[in-house]
Amino acid sequence: MRSIDQELKAIRQQGLWRKLSPQPRCGADAHNFASNDYLGLAQHPALTEAFHEGLKIHGHGAAASRLVCGTSAAHVQLEAAIADLKSTKRALTFSSGYATAMGIIPALLDKNDFIIVDKLSHACLIDAAKLSGATLRVFPHNHLGKLENLLESIRAKHGSEPRILIATESVFSMDGDVCPLREIVDLKNRFDAWLLLDEAHGFGVLGANGAGLAEELGLQSQIDLQMGTLSKAAGLSGGFVAASSSFIDLLINRARSFIYSTAPPPALAHAGCFAVNLIRSTKGQQLRHRLQQNIALLTDQKTPIIPHILGSNKKALAASEKLSQAGFLVPAIRFPTVPRNTARLRISLSAVHSESAIIDLKKHLSTL
């Protein structure tokens, strides 16, 4: 059999070795520019208290899957809060964002169907597409012309019967840029396709109420499936999708990562509901405002993910190490998370970073 030791050796030789290093606390703090804790909610005292309250009311383990007896009032309330924020009829929660994609895509598509994804989409969209058995087509990052060509040729060759799902991210997780959402919506309407929008990094960050890019552009009603996670700006964990009643009913009946997995702890759902309401409150708006002020110190973009592309794995690792010695936690991101030869530092900003820490980081970045 192929040797594991040789495989591990090859990973090391390519500069692609990954190991786990425990952090004292992983939320954003003065010098942690690695977490996705954009609003500082991962350690927010009121959210901690809501989690405790959830434990007191509901206990910890859900003890069964949602369809058996694992659905608590907290899950129902969380899903109602998400649907309300997203302006959809209903929503459904999963144990993670990854599990959400793995549930949705194979539930909607089979081998007679098509899925078209942006080249830089998150691994969960690609993995779920493969699992579904649908024909997977990829368009170059944010390239509307190529997306249009793909839609056109599928409909020309296969007619109106097959389902076509376009899947993309609102805020790209490793580049911090956004998709041309309005144009993608126009295309999906023209070619009678569905759109799955992964707002993992838009949720809590963009839009007046923090619902995401779709809210900011007034397009929520146009998007078939608005997916997200409570693990980033919401400071907890758990994935969700907001959609029409028919989509949600189909997912409850067909999404295997939903059906065959124990319900997330009800206490977590209780805290999730609190986090969603916090995100859309005045306090949430203030945190988004703070976050935008922090972003403006480093860049003129509107999202908190700032890539500093260095090219080789070696350069990215050395730069990350150098920043670490200066006291900053900034991760080096390498293949296969990003394309080969685009290894980079990924700086993520939070509302709880101080102005002085960001200015200090900026100085260090300019010496790399």
Ligand X SMILES: *Cc1c(COP(=O)(O)O)cnc(C)c1O
Binding residues (CB under 6 A) for ligand X: these are 96-98, 122, 124, 169, 173, 198, 200-201, 229, 231, 239
- What are the two backbone dihedrals, phi and then psi, of residue 319, each rounded to the nearest 5 degrees? -65, -40
Q: Tell me, yes or no, if 118 is annotated catalytic.
A: no
Least distance CB 116 / ligand X (angstroms): 17
Beta bridge partners of 305: 348
Q: Distance (Å, rounded) from C-alpha 159 to C-alpha 152?
A: 10
Residue 311 neighbours by CB distance under 10 Å: 12
Structure tokens at 49: 């208290």
Integer Rg of the chain from CA: 21
Residue 98 or 194 having the CB closest to ligand X: 98
Q: Tell me, yes or no, if 201 is annotated catalytic.
A: yes
Least distance CB 225 / ligand X (angstroms): 13
Residue 154 or 211 having the CB closest to ligand X: 211
Q: Tell me, yes or no, if 122 is annotated catalytic.
A: yes
Residue 346 or 353 having the CB closest to ligand X: 346
Which residue out of 29, 79, 175, 198 is catalytically annotated?
198
Residue 97 or 265 having the CB closest to ligand X: 97
Q: Tell me, yes or no, if 36 is annotated catalytic.
A: yes
Which residue out of 31, 86, 201, 270 is catalytically annotated?
201
Least distance CB 261 / ligand X (angstroms): 13
Which residue out of 44, 86, 232, 353 is catalytically annotated?
232
What are the b/e assignments for 323-360, b being 16+ CB within 10 Å?
beeeebbbbbbbeeebeeebbbbbbbbbbbbeeebbeb
Which residue out of 31, 44, 75, 122 is catalytically annotated?
122
* Single-letter code of the amino acid located at 333: I
Least distance CB 291 / ligand X (angstroms): 17
Of 261, 207, 265, 212, the C-alpha closest to 236 is 265
Beta bridge partners of 32: 329
Which residue numbers are catalytic? 36, 122, 169, 173, 198, 201, 232
